[in-house]
Structure 1
Amino acid sequence: MARIDELEGLRGLLAVWVVFVHLLPAAGIEASNLGVLEPLFGELIRVQIFCIMSGFVIFMMMSRRREPYLPFLSRRFLRIYPVYLFAFVLSVAMSGVAYEALQSADFSGPKNAGRVVVYEASFAQWPEHVLSHLTLLHGIIPRGWLPFGAYTFLGQAWNISTEFQFYIIAPILFWVLHDARFSLKVLFIAGIAAAWYVGMRWPNTAALSYFAIYFLTGIVSYYAWGRSWRDQTYLNKWTIAAAALAVGTVSIAIGIWIFIFGSALYVRDRAGRQDILSKALKLKPMLFFGKISYSLYLLHMIPLYGLMYGLNGLDLPQGVYIALLGFGTFALAMPMSVFATRYVEGAFYQSQRQAPVAVEDTSPKRPAN
């Protein structure tokens, strides 16, 4: 069954984007130094788009499988946990080197200083932090109980807990929207709204409530993809661009999604041919990065810190330092990610080979024309 290659390529783009966001502060380049590009490197746009894609893909998958709750949750757990655990164990083992690299960094800045503080918190209560990460609770434990708990040891894995929180509630939401009586739908949606209101005040910003709007955007996109737009003349390049720009003034992530997703709808139902954006996202390098995106996202800080440790003290110019750091990080992180994708994720996520509708296979059935 065919996938939506644009979204696979987008996954790859987002993973590479995350690596660059983490590379620049390591060389003393803060988002505030980048002028008009500051929002792209200083905000959580790439993670927000990942959440939108997750809402879309998970609802698409549930519409096809219609499996019971526990098998669904088990498969999702086996999809994310082995690579997550692999990266977490390596990150704990590497934590001493990472801490030394940050302390001796040739180029200081707020981000590096903040990372030092997080590592100090990691070491101060390491049994609690390790336990919270092993149970995927690090995204909901109040920060007053466990300072910096969402970010310790494996900082970028805070949203793996957020993702799993979504997996827990998604089948219930899907059932209510598709199978429950109208009165139950109303009660459930009212309850969700109340929970969201309370959750937005929860003292851990990795909680699902803080990203609910992005998962919801993905869910709405699932319903949009499930219908035909062939006869809808208002779906065109100009209306897509206008909607993306308008929404982008409120949320850059949702604006970007509207442009990419809307373009995919337009190509599928109205244009009949690929545009420049579709072609770019379907390039082989983008699809390659899309395939290893999850592992790359989790593993890239390990070679980054190792290279920082080796480059510090060489008195290199900033440009040379970041060039070597960037090239070396990608050169080491890519084979690590290929290994993790193939032999760690693949070894546990058996259903990926048994059925064609895994999370990577993101395209729905074509609607009847």
Structure 2
Amino acid sequence: MSNAKLKGQYSGFIPEYEGLRGILAIWVVIGHVTSGLPISFNFASPSLWNTVPVQVFIILSGFVIFSLLDREHQSYVAFLTQRAFRIFPIYLVALAISTLMLPVSREILQLAPAAPMTEARISLIDSAEKNLSWSFLSHALLIQGLVPDSILENSAYTLVGQAWSVSVEWQFYLLAPAIYFLLGTRKRIAKLTALSGGLITLTIAGKTMGGGYIGNYLPLFAVGIATFYTYKLSSEKWPAALIPALLAAPITPEHSAALIIWALVSYCALCKKTSTAQQAASSLLRSKPAVYLGQISYSIYILHMIFVITAIYVASKIHAPTWIHATTALLLSAALTVLSSHVSYKCIERPMMRIGKRLSHRERIEFAPQ
């Protein structure tokens, strides 16, 4: 596929991937609510609810960020400015609210019926309050994933637990332009040697870091990046974009569920529609509700634990069968999260993204691949 053809059919927005964002965000909400309810004792692996969608988010980020770099060729400062205005504003709001809620959250969790994640969440609150100033500072800078547990206990998860992955994203943003440059065609051997050495170093360092360190997630980012390049260079009639995920599945079996989801969605999004099932799945992902949830998915992801705790409290006050407790908590947390995310997207996210674009300079990227 030529660059001209790519630009003609791909302007940076793939509706199936936007719908995927929305579905993944709601999946995470459901997982975090459910793992905080007694009903999840009946599930074989409650952690599955929270792990798989975040892994798919990371793969998607690799694809989206490299398509952005390839399309816009911004300067490093412009790229980081736009990314910072994209992720920090609503995140800092969530951080402030979550920090203020720590004592209330502990009380709610202690009084609510025990669930698989109850003890772990209380332990994280205790860790946060032991070193509140340092925990807040590391979270405010989004470097909590870079702080080893030996220095700050449970550093990646204490205040805004789900933001460990946002810290991973920020680390990726800091490195992505350099990786993009090193994948260029000019002096490829020297560049790839430097890239390989850097990635190996990051991976080895992960053995002493916590769960929010980018070195632990490089294979997932790599699949997203490779998917973009195979899509860019191949015809939609031959689903080459599926190859990275299919090759990675046996190599990293711990990511197999996420890789299968990514391959299936990419087949619907990037390949020619040849079957009824493919068309139906594509239509679902492209539907207005799914795409809109995708637009507000970042707010959903960042804000939802505030409302999960609220919903657990409300459900614990209802004297009714277990299934009514679970249904109440799920519906209430989802409704409050989506409503607040709609408002935050309109009032915080979108205005801040516009400011970020105005502040950034549209320069040719200094390290564009050649």
Calculate the TM-score normalised by the size of structure 1. 0.86
1:354–1:203 CA distance, 2 compared to 1 (3 A) = closer
Establish whether residue 291 from structure 1 lines up as the match of residue 295 from structure 2. yes
Retained in 2: the 8 A contact 1:98–1:305? yes
Counterpart for residue 67 of structure 2 = 60
The 1:186–1:3 alpha-carbon spacing in structure 2 relative to 1, beyond 3 Å, is closer
Structure 2 residue aligned with 1:26:
36
- The answer on 1:92 being equivalent to 2:99 is yes
CA RMSD between the two structures: 2.9
Give the conservation status (yes or no) of the 8 Å contact 1:267–1:273: no
2: CA distance between counterparts of 1:46 and 1:62? 24
Q: For the structure 1 residues 298 and 98, does the alpha-carbon distance in structure 2 shift closer, same or farther, using more than 3 Å as the test?
A: same
Classify 1:108/1:227 alpha carbon distance in 2 versus 1 (closer, same or farther; 3 Å). same
The verdict on how the C-alpha distance between 1:54 and 1:245 changes in structure 2, with shifts beyond 3 A counting, is closer
* 8 Å CA contact 1:98, 1:309 repeated in 2: no
Alpha carbons of structure 1 residues 38 and 118: separation in structure 2 relative to 1, 3 Å: closer
Equivalent of residue 350 in structure 2, options 336, 341, 346: 346
Q: Deviations over 1:222-271 (max 9, x none)?
A: 11221342554x7799x999889878956211121112112322226x67
* Residue 267, structure 1, aligned to residue 272, structure 2: yes
Q: Which residue of 1 aligns with 2:220?
A: 214
Moved more, 288-297 or 93-102: 93-102
Tell me, yes or no, if the aligned pair for 1:244 and 1:255 is still in contact at 8 Å: no
Q: What is the deviation of 1:194?
A: 2.4
Deviations 1:21-52 (A, max 9, x none): 1011221233x6324x76742x6111111011
1:12 equivalenced with 2:22 (yes/no): yes
Instruction: Determine if the alignment matches structure 1 residue 224 to structure 2 residue 214.
Output: no
Judged with a 3 Å threshold, the aligned counterparts in structure 2 of structure 1 residues 245 and 159 are, in CA distance, closer, same or farther, namely: closer
Q: Secondary structure at the match of 1:110?
A: coil
The 1-side partners of 2:241 and 2:349 are apart by: 40
**Matching of residue 307 in structure 1 with residue 316 in structure 2:** no
Counterpart residue number, 2:90? 83
User: Unpaired runs of 5+ in structure 2?
Assistant: 1-10, 360-370
Contact 2:227 2:244 in 1 (8 A): no
The letter for the 1-side match of 2:66 is F
Distance 1:197 1:248 in 2: 14
Unaligned runs of 5+ in 1: 356-369
Residue 159 of structure 1 contacts residue 206 of structure 1 at CA under 8 Å; is this kept in 2? yes
Residue 334 of structure 1 corresponds to which residue in structure 2?
338
Q: Find the counterpart in structure 2 of residue 44 from structure 1.
A: 51
Deviation, 1:325, is 1.0
CA distance in 2, matches of 1:154, 1:231: 43
- Deviation for aligned residue 1:280: 1.2
For the pair 1:102 / 2:106, whether they are aligned, the reply is no
Q: Which amino acid aligns with 1:297?
A: Y
- Alignment counterpart, residue 181 of structure 1, candidates 182, 187, 198: 187
Alignment partner of 2:164 out of 135, 158, 162: 158
| Contact 2:236-2:272 within 8 A present in 1 as well | no
Flag the 1:221–1:189 CA change in 2: closer, same or farther, 3 A. same
For residues 219 and 356 of structure 2, the distance between their equivalents in structure 1, rounded to whole angstroms, comes to 28
Deviates more, 1:175-184 or 1:45-54: 175-184
Contact 1:229 1:265 in 2 (8 A): no
Task: State which of 156, 160, 169 in structure 1 corresponds to 2:175.
Answer: 169
